[in-house]
Structure 1
């Protein structure tokens, strides 16, 4: 035997040349002219192009629901190798006819196809058979076995095979112009590089995987004899094999087997391996391209299951399954069969793998509700593990939502990307905002796209941060993001590592099996409490502002449509009538909203084409919600007299300032209608609420206190713009109850009772330095706005306490600043900590004038000079009667590049922490930069408000469509707009409308005023004029309301209603979802609309399934034989759902 020269690097290189591939790609590292030197060049022989006849039909979009008829119906023309097809994101359907020549009789024959793009093989019957990926991509898969159902896949001479191949003119990761995440080249054409049949060599295939594993072990085993021996054995195989002589291959395999057959000891850890493909529903390609990505990926794994009976594939996202079910019915049938076998495993439980920063709490619940409904209906069971490998942060309430939807386990990966601090755990117990705990695992292989390389398997043990408790781990194998999934090479690699000395045992498994094993160790696992903050991609709180605005508005629209439809349904049921609750239409709307909550879409990290799709979706949601709202509103209006009669006038409101008359019969007016409420209107500084609305009545002779609107119309989600004959005005309600629902004949303030408020005033005066200052005041607060647009002073006036200054005199508030926003890596994703170092304040206002002077609101219009890039900003700064909230209605025409616009308020509040609204509650984060964990949170996500408080006083910064906050020391910043250039180089360019507000308050946070004012800013009460309602003699509330009641020992006043909707489980029940918003504990009363026929109440989970009464912590408060109210116990930040079963009107 020849002497072995101990030069490891040279030997490694020799072995790699012998193999001829990189990352399982035969085109990976060898020039075509040298393929005869290596094993990869011997995988295929007898290439025959003449045996394949192809023709092509160009299509505008992927073929859906393919069958024989539709596939044949296209007009085909002859095509051949060398032709190009395009442009980008177009599809082309090829008809392929293959006749096996005599020379290939009895041999395994494959079709080789390389269109330098994604492609899918489809049978004559329309069944997707396998996905293909061409070009030089590391995800390349360019062969298809023609006879997989035969033993050894052998062909017979004269066999004729007819197939269709659909190519998608894009790569697996889109087609970035000059870089993967750059905007796409929309005019690229793709060359058909290869189309032939060839004989596959299974012996060469086996040998190449043996040697590949040896080479990997020689590089990644720990230093020692076993590692050295692996390289020596690989070298021996090279010496024993003549690449040009197949007769020598078996000898090489026997040498390799002597090494690979040595087994592990009992103490070796286990890697629970599963095939997987993380599929982005939209990213560097439009969402319309994703259903076919799903079909390609799913069909590929179904073929792998035929080749390898032991492999298991896991896949999340109900939306993806639904697309495949609707568009590829034959493929769907095969998926269902494999699911029953337990080899195709649905995971996740959600509609999509969603963003967890931006969506509301109710939106997160609906992700699980619709997802679990789909999995239960189609596969017979719900998912037990939440599957979210790739998203940009994890909300603190997720553990409670997960458990409320039947999920106990959580798998993620993205935290391994943290830029500042390494996340300290691999397996841990995650405790949410309310104390709910779930088991969590983050695969230590540090990827959800593993390729089954030895180094990934070794890393699963060596990088396991909790190996002292449990050294086993999950490994997810398969190409992801753009789909594709696992390849035969990956499966071959995993099978060889099932039990090899020195390597963790690789076991094909399911997530559930792993988590049951982990569950036995949970008492010893570390615990992480609160949100899982992701130390990267903070720009996604702000990028694509219009999409974030549309998402928030859609969430409110759906909430309103469900609420009013529920009231109409309850009205009809109580009156013994029918109302067609639009559950199907509203569910479809939720699906559109949830689909666009995908973790690249809503965060803003997709190409421009995606946002054209989302705009169409949101328009559909708006239309359907407004239709549902209109129909329900008409029903309630038409039946208001009947409502009054069958409720026997219950819940009458006091009439001293009521609409229509006062206590002595004077001040008669003709304004009648219905007001929609979305939350508490109590617990505020004032009982007065100013409402902006459109009315048709003649205001000149009315007795109401009113004011013509001059400033731009406030966002009104449901009410149409004023028509001819109507006027947009401000009205005021007084002592109107809070709640979630509708109030018939609300009480508006009349002139005879106007002493109930102090009117708001505005004035202008010159300061000593010659500058003009504008003073807005209403008896609650006084604000001074300098002619530059900066708020110099903001004073909260105390009746029994000293006036408190909210802002510093040095910097004040409403300072608009443009910062440089150049990211290190991911332009659309990231804003960096150093962005604060380079800034340019917006110049002093060029005009400032008073446009409204009361009595209900004052307004100041401010216009700023253009920036260097030509961006313009205008504002209306408004103050209403009775409120300490000052609104900044802002219009921006944005023309920047790689900049970020923020507004600053420098407060006179000292606190080490600020509070940010999150889903179903709030989280506290440091305002200090003491160490890297705090510095990493230089930009954080918040929903409708951020608050900084000290004992007895606080300042809140509110918004109606923004999410990126930064609070350092006492300075509050809100990010308004970014101007990223990839993957969408037009992101956020154009006009934007937004409102932010500053709210000083006496109570330190947590306090009702901040929550309620944030609700009022985002979804204020809306009034709908309706003369027919005037037959009701006094106001009547058709609302669900959270109340206190000392007689019932119900003193908790921090519970909030999140949704009122029809139950998914019982057609005769409504579900009311509530949550405790401020971290308090106690009992609260859910008051139902008075005297509606509620037969019983029962606690349900977030899937609308009722739970045993012994676990309910619920008491019914009866009104005769029917339920009047429900008494509920709440733990801090607890989310509770109650099913209300309704019936017909009593005799």
Structure 2
């Protein structure tokens, strides 16, 4: 037998403590020899032969032989202990994975109680724990235990490794969400534990399913220097990860795994790993996990015992911080990695679509509400709502856990996530309505005479009303409510608010409650007395003793501003003829065409898009049938390591074009209205049904699909996983597809699987120098291949949730034609609605129309929020040109401005002024936050 066979044979025959101790050190001694050009092989063979001889004589390895072996190997003790194994105890606690929230509470409390017991019993033992959510659970449900943990943290025995509220998804959460994870987590530990912001330096993400390219940028701006992960890469284990802006974090990718128990061969690869990376120490993360647990008494006892072995690694109970600080001293020796770390578990981009809808609704609702509150505080004597928004954010962040948002949980996981959404929307409604009311009270409407009708029935109408919804809104889910009506009489005042950084001209639908005038004489004017085009749209009717009529008007609203509309009864424009009968005289079969001054879209009788022409260039953007839905069945018997098909996206077994294979019924059509043209159709297929409204607004280059799916397809072992898709083949060649990620975009080559996007996918036609953009309000699963886009709208996996998609679903999909620098403009105006509030006639300090803030075209705004100290507001922007350069933010007020990080601390970043413009020079794809404090209001 050679040296390898001898060591292997002896370990196989090792039974009992002394034999295992001896053969483990024998194996480690070989590893020491291996990294020293095998110079110690003779010693290893000598020790091995002692054990082999004893085994041959006695049939087992005796204690005496084991002692003799150890004595021989002890000459290598100094060499063996040049390498240190830093053992870090950890308990991986999944939030609501295969269990409900009450069980998450139980396993958190039980795990922490056990760890406190171990810490008291073993003075050398240390413990590290991530996720602010776990600490919050203890604070809420066991305050006494919480105080014990705080004491252990002060003593340095318990390491807080949480810089995020949960170990969350990094591909489907917005950049703003990822920034808020760090902000609210650091604030929590500073408030509750007295831990300074600069002492929390690690983002610990052991099980996250991939990592977007902007993570280093987000972490650096949040004061995070280090990153720990397991998934998303198979290359380097220690590296510098750099974002396009140049921001960088030091990364350790776990070479083993984070859920381990202590075995005697725990240090086996330590010498070779250390030699390869030019280091002399390595962390080993141990502890039972997923369902909590942490290290056991056996783990601790083994480590204490193994630390006394002469020919074994030096063993320490340690921390992540000390390890990363050590790596920092050798940072220049490690390679640099750029770009995203993907893909894994691609099925999770589509699993549990309701949870994904909930996340987009929460993020978007918080964005618009915080914007309105920040503007109202600054310009309309509004009040902060910081505590309410913080509570809403915490619930939103909880749902980012890497088994919740990705949809790899059970029914109870989904139910809890959706319940949290309802609470979030309660907070955002409260904050948004307070801010809109503050504006309504501050806007001077005294020039508009309204009636003071003591018999009015309209005041208070529409409480909780959600029947009228902006067609382009991500918040149309039967959950978002509108603010109560305050006007009455025949003259009504409406203020329309734009919470985006872009001037907008579009169709807006809103209700007029209990109108006593004649609708045929209704007219709408803007603040300058100009006629506003409108029509009375369908819907409306009764609502809790009140009635409303729905108005669709074409409005123009400036960036971060508002306008005023006046609806009143006007004079008759003509004397109508009296007609007693109306009957059709000639039947017309219309072509299915939606056209305005920007684009023309033609559909065949199956409502497939057969032509989409950009009038700016006369370019035909498609060359085959497009814009259709498909029903496919995916393979569920893939030979993968993961059996649950929520994670694994199987290849297509068969696929049907629903538009071609099932009857398509056009139920309504309006292509003569200049404000909004639309076609409604529906299709029954299998046990399910889709209802679709395709619309095109005046001056818009976006076809909007409002999709309602009544889904009843389920998994069967015979057919596989049913999925509903939307396909968009286009008519030009591309070699890359661009997708929205946190604080930017990423370009990817074609993939034959779904990839994540948080808002849109886009392709550029070099010939016409125009782009085709595909936008959604709640879909994350995109695929670009073969000059085509597809969206996975629903994927009815059956494990671990048996029926994740059964029932009603709604989506908004947009197909637009634009320039390359307009992607974020199109996406933001598609997803963020215009808001409105009614008003009465009164004095005020604000004009009837206003724009408070505007920006240059090379940046996008991530947030406009009240600062955490409530002394000003924060504007966070990011470079979208990918070239960097000078950007400006114009603020129409007298103000002071300071550059801050994502924790809202001043940073050394040059900010200059040109009158009301703030000028800042950005690196490519860089984010920057500015804190603005007003001196005396609007100029």
Measured against the shorter chain, the TM-score band is 0.7 to 0.9
Corresponding residue of 2:289: 480
Deviation (angstroms), 1:1024: 2.3
Corresponding residue of 1:186: none
TM-score normalised by L of structure 1: 0.68
Relative contact order, higher structure (CA 8 A, sep 6+)? 2
Corresponding residue of 2:521: 701
Corresponding residue of 2:87: 273
Deviation (angstroms), 1:211: 6.7
Corresponding residue of 2:754: 939
Corresponding residue of 1:626: 429
d(CA) in 1 for partners of 2:731 and 2:621?
5
d(CA) in 2 for partners of 1:12 and 1:688?
76
d(CA) in 2 for partners of 1:744 and 1:343?
59
Would the alpha carbon gap of residues 722 and 547 (structure 1) be closer, same or farther in structure 2, given more than 3 Å must change?
farther
Q: Pick the aligned partner of 1:1137 from 929, 933, 936.
A: 929
d(CA) in 2 for partners of 1:268 and 1:524?
20
**Is residue 728 from structure 1 mapped to residue 550 from structure 2 by the alignment?**
yes
Q: Pick the aligned partner of 1:566 from 368, 374, 380.
A: 374
CA contact (8 A) 1:743 1:1038 kept: yes
Would the alpha carbon gap of residues 1146 and 1078 (structure 1) be closer, same or farther in structure 2, given more than 3 Å must change?
closer
Corresponding residue of 2:739: 916
Corresponding residue of 2:865: 1061
**Is residue 413 from structure 1 mapped to residue 230 from structure 2 by the alignment?**
yes
1:104-119 map, 5 Å: none
d(CA) in 1 for partners of 2:183 and 2:289?
26
Would the alpha carbon gap of residues 748 and 881 (structure 1) be closer, same or farther in structure 2, given more than 3 Å must change?
farther
SS in 2 for 1:676: strand
1:647-686 map, 5 Å: 670-682=491-503
CA contact (8 A) 1:944 1:958 kept: yes
d(CA) in 2 for partners of 1:1016 and 1:590?
23
Corresponding residue of 1:555: 363
d(CA) in 1 for partners of 2:434 and 2:416?
28
CA contact (8 A) 1:637 1:1029 kept: no
CA contact (8 A) 2:602 2:610 kept: yes
CA contact (8 A) 1:217 1:230 kept: no
Would the alpha carbon gap of residues 926 and 1033 (structure 1) be closer, same or farther in structure 2, given more than 3 Å must change?
closer
CA contact (8 A) 1:909 1:954 kept: no
d(CA) in 2 for partners of 1:333 and 1:255?
50
Would the alpha carbon gap of residues 264 and 708 (structure 1) be closer, same or farther in structure 2, given more than 3 Å must change?
farther
CA contact (8 A) 1:314 1:345 kept: yes
Deviation (angstroms), 1:263: 0.8
d(CA) in 1 for partners of 2:667 and 2:835?
29
CA contact (8 A) 1:566 1:1062 kept: yes
Q: Which moved more, 1:262-271 or 1:506-515?
A: 262-271
Corresponding residue of 2:480: none
CA contact (8 A) 1:860 1:877 kept: yes
Would the alpha carbon gap of residues 1083 and 218 (structure 1) be closer, same or farther in structure 2, given more than 3 Å must change?
closer
CA contact (8 A) 1:912 1:969 kept: no
Deviation (angstroms), 1:1041: 2.1
d(CA) in 2 for partners of 1:471 and 1:303?
32
CA contact (8 A) 2:631 2:722 kept: no
Would the alpha carbon gap of residues 1145 and 985 (structure 1) be closer, same or farther in structure 2, given more than 3 Å must change?
closer
1:183-198 map, 5 Å: none
Residues 382-404 of structure 1, C-alpha deviation per residue, up to 9 Å, x if partnerless? 31111111111111111111111
CA contact (8 A) 1:873 1:892 kept: yes
CA contact (8 A) 2:371 2:499 kept: no
Q: Which moved more, 1:556-565 or 1:601-610?
A: 556-565
SS in 1 for 2:522: coil
Deviation (angstroms), 1:448: 0.7
SS in 1 for 2:732: coil
Corresponding residue of 2:619: 804
Would the alpha carbon gap of residues 359 and 722 (structure 1) be closer, same or farther in structure 2, given more than 3 Å must change?
farther
Q: Pick the aligned partner of 1:313 from 122, 127, 131.
A: 127
d(CA) in 2 for partners of 1:543 and 1:1146?
47
d(CA) in 2 for partners of 1:231 and 1:960?
66
**Is residue 336 from structure 1 mapped to residue 158 from structure 2 by the alignment?**
no
Q: Pick the aligned partner of 2:204 from 383, 387, 394.
A: 387
Corresponding residue of 1:650: none
d(CA) in 2 for partners of 1:751 and 1:543?
53
SS in 1 for 2:403: coil
Deviation (angstroms), 1:210: 4.2
Q: Pick the aligned partner of 2:239 from 428, 441, 449.
A: 428
Deviation (angstroms), 1:309: 2.6
Corresponding residue of 1:963: 780
Would the alpha carbon gap of residues 827 and 328 (structure 1) be closer, same or farther in structure 2, given more than 3 Å must change?
same
Corresponding residue of 1:284: 98
CA contact (8 A) 1:217 1:454 kept: no
1:629-644 map, 5 Å: 629-641=432-444
d(CA) in 1 for partners of 2:141 and 2:49?
53
CA contact (8 A) 2:88 2:284 kept: yes
- Cα RMSD after superposing both structures: 3.7
d(CA) in 2 for partners of 1:1103 and 1:910?
44
Would the alpha carbon gap of residues 518 and 8 (structure 1) be closer, same or farther in structure 2, given more than 3 Å must change?
closer
Deviation (angstroms), 1:943: 1.5
Corresponding residue of 1:1115: 912
d(CA) in 2 for partners of 1:938 and 1:1030?
59
**Is residue 1099 from structure 1 mapped to residue 899 from structure 2 by the alignment?**
yes
Corresponding residue of 1:494: 303
Q: Pick the aligned partner of 2:682 from 855, 863, 873.
A: 863
Deviation (angstroms), 1:725: 2.8
CA contact (8 A) 1:711 1:851 kept: no
Deviation (angstroms), 1:619: 0.8
Residues 628-679 of structure 1, C-alpha deviation per residue, up to 9 Å, x if partnerless? 21122222212223999xxxxxxxxxxxxxxxxxxxxxxxx94422222121
Would the alpha carbon gap of residues 765 and 1060 (structure 1) be closer, same or farther in structure 2, given more than 3 Å must change?
same
CA contact (8 A) 2:876 2:927 kept: yes
CA contact (8 A) 1:236 1:255 kept: no
Corresponding residue of 1:1039: 852
CA contact (8 A) 1:861 1:874 kept: yes
Deviation (angstroms), 1:277: 1.6
Deviation (angstroms), 1:830: 3.0
Corresponding residue of 2:401: 598
d(CA) in 2 for partners of 1:472 and 1:712?
70
Q: Pick the aligned partner of 1:907 from 721, 730, 754.
A: 730
Deviation (angstroms), 1:987: 0.7
Q: Pick the aligned partner of 1:515 from 307, 317, 324.
A: 324
Corresponding residue of 1:841: 657
CA contact (8 A) 1:263 1:499 kept: no
CA contact (8 A) 1:389 1:413 kept: yes
d(CA) in 2 for partners of 1:998 and 1:304?
58
d(CA) in 2 for partners of 1:721 and 1:797?
43
Deviation (angstroms), 1:692: 2.1
Would the alpha carbon gap of residues 403 and 9 (structure 1) be closer, same or farther in structure 2, given more than 3 Å must change?
closer
TM-score normalised by L of structure 2: 0.83
1:163-562 map, 5 Å: 210=21, 213=24, 258=71, 263-265=77-79, 268-377=82-191, 378-382=193-197, 383-415=200-232, 423-444=234-255, 446-462=256-272, 467-470=276-279, 472-498=281-307, 503-534=312-343, 536-562=344-370
Q: Which runs of 5+ in 1 are unaligned?
A: 1-5, 20-206, 417-422, 574-578, 645-668, 714-719, 753-762, 767-771, 928-934, 1043-1051, 1119-1123
Would the alpha carbon gap of residues 866 and 848 (structure 1) be closer, same or farther in structure 2, given more than 3 Å must change?
same
Residues 755-795 of structure 1, C-alpha deviation per residue, up to 9 Å, x if partnerless? xxxxxxxx9987xxxxx851111121111111212111111
Would the alpha carbon gap of residues 1146 and 400 (structure 1) be closer, same or farther in structure 2, given more than 3 Å must change?
closer
Q: Which runs of 5+ in 2 are unaligned?
A: 448-489, 525-532, 572-585, 716-720
Corresponding residue of 1:199: none
SS in 2 for 1:903: strand
Corresponding residue of 1:587: 390
Would the alpha carbon gap of residues 882 and 270 (structure 1) be closer, same or farther in structure 2, given more than 3 Å must change?
same
d(CA) in 1 for partners of 2:684 and 2:655?
17
CA contact (8 A) 1:460 1:475 kept: no
